[in-house]
Chain A
Amino acid sequence: GENVEQHPSTLSVQEGDSAVIKCTYSDSASNYFPWYKQELGKRPQLIIDIRSNVGEKKDQRIAVTLNKTAKHFSLHITETQPEDSAVYFCAARQSGSARQLTFGSGTQLTVLP
């Protein structure tokens, strides 16, 4: 099955700086890569996603890049704000009928004011 590794596990940045979180996946047939944000005590919520036929996608201050050859994808957050502090999870969707997601272990991002 799919295996997703995520780094770093914790990340602290100064407000206004950029943050980058990286994930690698093992199944070359995976074709959909979402990123979820989970605030303390809340449910995970999708913030951005990318499909395997696209190399980069941006949405305001967040962007995701995908390198299919190397089987890795990254989340980039620019101009970080305190409200960006949360746990971020990457995931990869396995090929197959059930659209299962395999999640990375998460990154605790802390934005220091």
Chain B
Amino acid sequence: NAGVTQTPKFRVLKTGQSMTLLCAQDMNHEYMYWYRQDPGMGLRLIHYSVGEGTTAKGEVPDGYNVSRLKKQNFLLGLESAAPSQTSVYFCATQQVTLGVEQYFGPGTRLTVT
């Protein structure tokens, strides 16, 4: 089992460009999350999904969109990248059962110039 994977691992964008980050999981988890990690600020929730076809905003959703057309995939889109979106992005998944851990993907390092 691959667990949680993220594509791509690294990306450099110019201001105004768009891109999509893909999170894929083979653990049949219902919940999926997108976080960004910035120095000194921990992990902040961008968007999340409680199941196929549903998404919701987290703490820092502005400038991002998401989609969950298939249970195993959760896509994070940047329509017009800004330097403030330079960050490391982590996807995480979780079973429905209360108290079970979130499993993180390996991360995507994004630089916007």
Residues of A within 8 A of B (CB): 1, 6, 9, 32, 34, 42-46, 49, 51, 89, 97-106
Interface residue from A6, A98, A103 paired with B44 (Cβ < 8 Å): A103
CB-based closest 8 A-B pairs? A103-B42, A43-B104, A46-B101, A103-B43, A105-B42, A44-B104, A106-B42, A32-B99
Q: Which residue of chain B has the shortest Cβ distance to A50 in the bound complex?
A: B99
Q: Of B40, B50, B58, B104, which is within 8 A of A45 by CB?
A: B104
Tally B residues with Cβ within 8 Å of A.
23
| CB–CB A44/B50 < 8 A | no
Partner of A43 from B50, B56, B90 at Cβ < 8 Å: B90
Q: Is the CB of B40 within 8 A of A9?
A: yes
CB distance from A99 to the nearest CB of B (A): 6
Cross-interface CB contact of B43 among A44, A49, A51, cutoff 8 Å: A44
Q: Which residue of B lies closest to A104 (CB)?
A: B42
B96 to chain A: closest residue by CB: A99
Q: Can you name 19 A-B residue pairings with CB atoms under 8 Å?
A: A1-B59, A9-B40, A32-B98, A32-B99, A44-B43, A44-B104, A49-B101, A51-B99, A98-B31, A98-B56, A99-B31, A99-B94, A100-B33, A100-B45, A101-B43, A101-B45, A102-B45, A102-B59, A105-B40
Q: Using Cβ atoms and an 8 Å threshold, which residues of chain B touch A99? A: 31, 94, 98
Task: Tell me, rounded to whole Å, the shortest Cβ–Cβ distance linking A45 to chain B.
Answer: 7
B59 close to A105 (CB less than 8 A):
no
A89 to B41 CA separation, bound complex (whole angstroms): 10
Contact B90 A44 (CB under 8 A): yes
A98 touches B50 (CB 8 A): yes
Given contacts A43-B106, A44-B90, contact A34 B101 (CB under 8 A): yes
Contacts of B74 in A (CB 8 A): none
| Min distance, Cβ B73 to any Cβ of chain A, angstroms | 18
**Quick check: B48 and A98 within 8 Å, CB to CB?**
yes
